[in-house]
Amino acid sequence: MSNIVNRICDTLHHLLESVEVDPSPILTVAYSGGVDSTLLLHALAHYRDRHDLDVHAVHVHHGLSDNADSWLAHCERECRFLDIPFTANKVDIEQTTRTSLEALARNARYAALHDYCKQHNSILCLGQHSEDQLETVLLQLKRGAGPQGLAGMGAFQWRNKVLTLRPMLQESKQDILSAAQQLNLNWVEDESNADTRFDRNFLRNEVLPLLTARWPQMAKTTGRSAALCAEQSALLETEAKTHLSHCESVSAFGTSMLSGKYILSLSDSWKRAVIRQWFASKGALAPSQAQLVQVLNMLNAREDATPKVTFSWGYVARYQGSLYWVNNADERVKRELTLPEGSTLTLAWLNLQLRFESNFEEEKPLQLVVKTDVKGLKIKPANAQVSKPLKDWYKYWKIPVWERAKIPVVFFKEDAIALLINGDVVRLHRCPASFQLTVVSS
């Protein structure tokens, strides 16, 4: 067996020992049919035979090449020869004007791989090597990335709740090619790899040959720099998590919020680090430098203002000095629901249930209506002296603007008789004394 195959197996074994995984995990190879994933597949087949565990292979068919079907057939044959369970996943890619085909294909590929790994509770194994790491670091440098981006790809990392291993990250492309030829392996060549319109291909075909001709150890030393950046990034992340734990809390509406007072007490660098960590904890893409500035500037906005910075998942808003994480509209919020006497109504968006009992003798059966996004209403709570518009009471109760549409208002016939505020029933002056409204946690 080739030395490189033994090194890959040893690296894989070390990675599996360094993370908490099942004693006999399923290892899933992202198998494109190219030389890198082909050598990885054969190395893992060797590792399987030595350690008695399962190895699967997943091939993602993008449909972007005329050769895509023949590549799939090739991969299926190789897996049959190695007695490795094979799955082909076809994905559809629709290019938009603002997203590159390269990025769309990558996202679709990872989505398919992650779905498979989640379904089979398996570990994803990728065949990326040292030159891939060099390309990644250069691309991150081009984008103006910080230590986290310049750390490149980790030998192991969790991504989308899937453990990903890269046991070939220390291997060179030339060693991989030499080993594949020595072992008489069969692989396919993707003609798109020669298309220098794609950034990574431009680096691989035009830039890296010049760099490595001048500095042969470029990939190795860049890998070392990436590892140092990863180490520094981990230290920053640990400290940022500590700061985040000191300033993050959950509002009465279940919304994550950060204490503006605490954030403002930090240095500018730590302010940015804590906001980035907040985004990471929510599984969201890190904000750009401009977005970070906008978020932090909100803390100095007028006291009566409610500024916000919008993202694809929702927005960050400032309210009464704190920053709130507000997701896009909750589809579980219902505009109108009925609540018959003696029954319990589930309010899924609040994780609550509302029960209605009554001794009202005038008419049976009784039925209440629960509405949300109620506007233009004037109410008087049972313990209040005056009537005010509902929006004024929301201000008095300190209900953030974005939460108001979710507030359930209970009606009997045409009259508003109660509201649910912060998980409690607020009875209004028109609520019959014989009506009992009780909140139950779901």
Is residue 97 pLDDT above 60, yes or no?
Answer: no
Whether 367 is covered by a domain: the verdict is yes
Whether 240 is covered by a domain: the verdict is no
Q: In terms of domains, do 1 and 134 share one? A: yes
Q: In terms of domains, do 352 and 297 share one? A: no
What is the pLDDT confidence band of residue 365, given thresholds at 50, 70 and 90? confident
Whether 238 is covered by a domain: the verdict is no
Q: In terms of domains, do 27 and 161 share one? A: yes
Whether 237 is covered by a domain: the verdict is no
* Both structure tokens of 304: 């009566």
- CA dist 397 and 394 (Å) reads 5
Mean pLDDT of the chain: 91
Q: In terms of domains, do 222 and 282 share one? A: no
Q: In terms of domains, do 5 and 133 share one? A: yes
pTM of the model: 0.75
Whether 320 is covered by a domain: the verdict is yes
Strand-by-strand arrangement of the 352-358 sheet: 344-347, 352-358, 435-441
Question: 3-class DSSP state for residue 33?
Answer: coil
- DSSP result, 205-249: IIIHHHHHHH-TTHHHHHHHHHHHHHHHHHHHHHHHHHHHHHHEE
Question: 3-class DSSP state for residue 342?
Answer: coil
Residue 315 and residue 326 in contact, taking contact as beta carbons nearer than 8 Å: yes
* Both structure tokens of 210: 């010049």
Task: Supply the CATH number for residue 217's domain.
Answer: 3.40.50.620
Is residue 36 annotated as involved in ligand binding? yes
pLDDT at 294: 96
Tell me how far apart the terminal alpha carbons of the chain are, to the nearest angstrom.
Answer: 59
pLDDT, tens digit, 9 for 90 and up, residues 182-216: 999 999 998 888 889 888 999 999 999 999 999 99
Nearest Cα to Cα of residue 61 among 29, 88, 36, 85: 88
pLDDT at 368: 93
Report for 145-149, 171-175, 301-305: range of highest mean pLDDT: 171-175
Is residue 5 annotated as involved in ligand binding? no
Q: Identify the DSSP state of 85.
A: -
Is residue 273 pLDDT above 90, yes or no?
Answer: yes
Domain of 268, in residue numbers: 246-325
Is residue 362 pLDDT above 70, yes or no?
Answer: no
- Per DSSP, helices labelled H in 265-365 are 268-281, 289-297
CA 159 to the chain's CA centroid: 8
Whether 241 is covered by a domain: the verdict is no
pLDDT at 24: 77
Domain end: 172, 206, 230, which one? 230
pLDDT at 361: 66
Q: In terms of domains, do 43 and 192 share one? A: yes
- CA dist 38 and 26 (Å) reads 18
Mean pLDDT to the nearest integer, 98-109: 78
Class of residue 220 by CB neighbours under 10 A (exposed 0-12, middle 13-18, buried 19+): middle
Q: In terms of domains, do 413 and 292 share one? A: no
Q: In terms of domains, do 304 and 193 share one? A: no
Whether 79 is covered by a domain: the verdict is yes
Angle, alpha carbons 193-226-171 (nearest 5°): 55
**Please, which residues have CB within 8 angstroms of residue 218's CB and are 6 or more apart in sequence?**
134, 208, 211, 212
Q: In terms of domains, do 56 and 184 share one? A: yes
Least confident of 17-21, 44-48, 134-138, 157-161: 17-21
Q: Which residue(s) pair with 50 in the sheet?
A: none
Is residue 37 annotated as involved in ligand binding? yes
pLDDT at 442: 62
pLDDT at 215: 95
pLDDT at 193: 87
Residue 192 and residue 66 in contact, taking contact as beta carbons nearer than 8 Å: no
Nearest Cα to Cα of residue 136 among 157, 114, 151, 155: 151
Residue type, 179: A
Is residue 219 pLDDT above 80, yes or no?
Answer: yes
Mean pLDDT to the nearest integer, 8-36: 91
Whether 378 is covered by a domain: the verdict is yes
Give phi and psi for 244, each to the nearest 5.
-60, -40
Nearest Cα to Cα of residue 271 among 229, 234, 243: 243
- CA dist 369 and 409 (Å) reads 8
* Structural domain count, the chain: 3
Other Cβ atoms less than 10 A from the Cβ of 416: the count is 21
- DSSP result, 350-373: GTEEEEEEE---SSSS-EEEEESS
Is residue 281 annotated as involved in ligand binding? no
* Both structure tokens of 32: 């494109």
Mean pLDDT to the nearest integer, 7-23: 89
Q: Whose structure tokens read 């004024």? A: 392
CA 325 to the chain's CA centroid: 15
pLDDT at 98: 54
Sign of the dihedral through C-alpha 85, 160, 347, 371: negative
Mean pLDDT to the nearest integer, 410-414: 92
Is residue 32 annotated as involved in ligand binding? yes
Residue 289 and residue 298 in contact, taking contact as beta carbons nearer than 8 Å: no
- CA dist 78 and 74 (Å) reads 6
Q: In terms of domains, do 58 and 129 share one? A: yes
Whole-angstrom CA distances from 174 to 30, 76, 134, 141 are: 21, 26, 14, 25
pLDDT at 166: 97
Is residue 251 pLDDT above 90, yes or no?
Answer: no
Domain end: 325, 343, 371, which one? 325
Domain end: 279, 305, 325, which one? 325
Q: Are strands 122-125 and 26-30 parallel, antiparallel or unpaired?
A: parallel
Is residue 35 annotated as involved in ligand binding? yes
Q: In terms of domains, do 14 and 99 share one? A: yes
Q: In terms of domains, do 179 and 320 share one? A: no
**Please, which residues have CB within 8 angstroms of residue 432's CB and are 6 or more apart in sequence?**
358, 360, 412, 417
Task: Supply the CATH number for residue 279's domain.
Answer: 1.20.59.20
